[in-house]
């Protein structure tokens, strides 16, 4: 049997989603509890806690954990963790909650989880933004998300009661860490590279995935299914385009496509570490880290996410980065290349990015054949043709995407 990497912090996954009689009993009890609404980001975090994606966390972070993660990327118990996983509410709601008491965490009328509130605390939002995002600029979508949180954080363990509709919406595409591990084992894989994407895959993405297949048993193309920023392409369109690419241009049984329920934070290097951490829980030994991983605009250097893996202590993550340089189409080479393999001039290169592709498609501008596969472009053009005027968002090229 192949040996996959261990889950983070131990030898077993720690899913917090109840099942069977325990689920039915807790759902009934939760109906009687005070209700705390959760944001979209908090819902995604809650589901990851439920399915074991955030193993070994047992709930939302206390103040000591929050401070340790912001300042040193460690929980109070010393375990590595790069981004705070917190739950917030307003002062009025917090004032009605008793310490040691339970609350129901809800989205609309649906109860997603119950939580024992062990701590109520205020946090310095600007401090979280400065340490995690390296900016307090409200134009940064992750900063904006934090600054709009409630004034009070609630810390404590959770019992998760729902997967928030993701299995029903995405079917077999949505897999838990236990399910991806079972697929990898059935395939006989022990080394698996995760490819993180919030965009449809263009030729540069395809190149990165195929480089990984050369050195690993297989690749998990792991698509974000939660909320994105305006102008990004919805998951149901993106994953259909990726499926067409896999079907036409990859060797059978070298790729697994799946999705996970988080919202993007756009935290650049720190989010790259979080991606590697939960990919370890999904069974991946490696994570592909290309240009400006999980970045937005020009807030991070193109390879800051490469550097941060060299700055963390050895052994805190089993999942290791596959660092890949700038990739592009070179007209002189006649194919995909990188700064490490191509000796030609900038004028000979077509630089590819998801932002550039969205801009071309949204404006109805012809897309060079070297940019993306025709089967992918057909699906994306159909999506853009179907957008109403009030659904269209101007795509701006900033930072590295403007090169």
Catalytic residue set: 198-199
Cis peptide bond N-terminal to 56, omega within 30: yes
What is the DSSP code (8-state) at residue 62? -
Are 241 and 200 spatial neighbours (Cβ–Cβ below 8 Å)?
yes
What the block records as the tokens of 331 is 């007209």
Strands (E), 185-250: 192-197, 218-224
User: Rounded CA gap, 319 and 36, in Å?
Assistant: 35
User: Rounded CA gap, 332 and 350, in Å?
Assistant: 11
User: Rounded CA gap, 324 and 286, in Å?
Assistant: 12
Q: Is 195 helix (H, G, I), strand (E, B) or coil?
A: strand
- The phi and psi torsions of 337 (rounded to 5 degrees) equal -155, 180
| E strand or H helix at 24 | helix 20-30
On the CB side of 90, CA atoms within 13 Å amount to: 4
| Alpha carbon 9 to chain centroid, angstroms | 20
Are 82 and 33 spatial neighbours (Cβ–Cβ below 8 Å)?
no
Write down the residue that tokens 């739950």 correspond to.
87
User: Rounded CA gap, 272 and 304, in Å?
Assistant: 10
Mind spelling out the 3-state secondary structure of 146-166? HHCCCCEEEEEEEEECCCCCH
Q: What is the CA radius of gyration of the chain?
A: 21
Pairing of strands 320-323, 286-289: parallel
User: Rounded CA gap, 198 and 202, in Å?
Assistant: 12
Burial (Cβ within 10 Å: 0-12, 13-18, ≥19) of residue 76: middle
Are 103 and 97 spatial neighbours (Cβ–Cβ below 8 Å)?
yes
Please provide the distance, in angstroms rounded to a whole number, between the alpha carbons at the two ends of the chain.
Answer: 46
Neighbours of 400 (CB within 10 A): 19
């Amino acid at each position: 049997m192949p040996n996959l990497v261990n889950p983070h912090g131990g030898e077993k996954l720690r899913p917090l989603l109840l099942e069977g009689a325990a689920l039915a009993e807790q759902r009934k009890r939760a109906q009687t509890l005070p209700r705390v609404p959760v944001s979209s980001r908090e819902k995604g975090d809650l589901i990851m806690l439920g399915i074991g994606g955030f193993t070994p966390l047992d709930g939302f972070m206390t103040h000591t954990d929050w401070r340790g993660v912001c300042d040193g990327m460690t929980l109070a118990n010393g375990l590595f963790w790069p981004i705070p996983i917190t739950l917030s509410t307003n002062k009025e709601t917090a004032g009605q909650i008793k310490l040691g008491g339970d609350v129901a965490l809800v989205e609309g009328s649906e109860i997603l989880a119950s939580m024992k509130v062990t701590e109520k605390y205020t946090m310095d939002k600007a401090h979280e933004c400065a340490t995690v995002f390296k900016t307090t600029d409200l134009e940064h979508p992750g900063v904006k998300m934090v600054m709009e949180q409630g004034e009070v954080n609630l810390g404590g363990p959770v019992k998760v009661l729902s997967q928030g509709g993701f299995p029903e919406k995405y079917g077999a595409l949505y897999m838990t860490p236990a399910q991806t591990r079972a697929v990898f084992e059935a395939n006989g894989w022990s080394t698996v590279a995760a490819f993180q994407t919030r965009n449809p895959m263009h030729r540069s993405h395809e190149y990165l995935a195929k480089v990984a297949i050369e050195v690993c048993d297989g690749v998990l193309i792991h698509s974000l299914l939660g909320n994105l920023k305006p102008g990004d392409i919805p998951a149901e369109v993106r994953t259909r385009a990726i499926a067409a690419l896999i079907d036409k241009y990859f060797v059978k049984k070298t790729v697994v496509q799946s999705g996970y329920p988080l919202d993007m934070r756009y935290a650049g290097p720190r989010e790259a570490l979080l991606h590697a951490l939960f990919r370890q829980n999904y069974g991946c030994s490696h994570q592909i880290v290309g240009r400006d991983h999980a970045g937005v605009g020009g807030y991070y250097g193109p390879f800051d996410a490469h550097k941060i893996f060299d700055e963390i202590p050895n052994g805190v993550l089993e999942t290791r980065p596959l660092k890949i340089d700038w990739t592009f189409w070179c007209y002189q080479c006649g194919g995909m290349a990188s700064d490490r393999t191509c000796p030609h001039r900038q004028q000979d290169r077509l630089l590819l990015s998801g932002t550039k592709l969205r801009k071309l498609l949204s404006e109805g501008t012809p897309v060079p054949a070297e940019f993306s596969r025709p089967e992918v472009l057909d699906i994306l053009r159909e999506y853009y043709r179907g957008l109403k005027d009030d659904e269209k968002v101007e795509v701006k090229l900033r930072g590295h995407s403007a090169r």
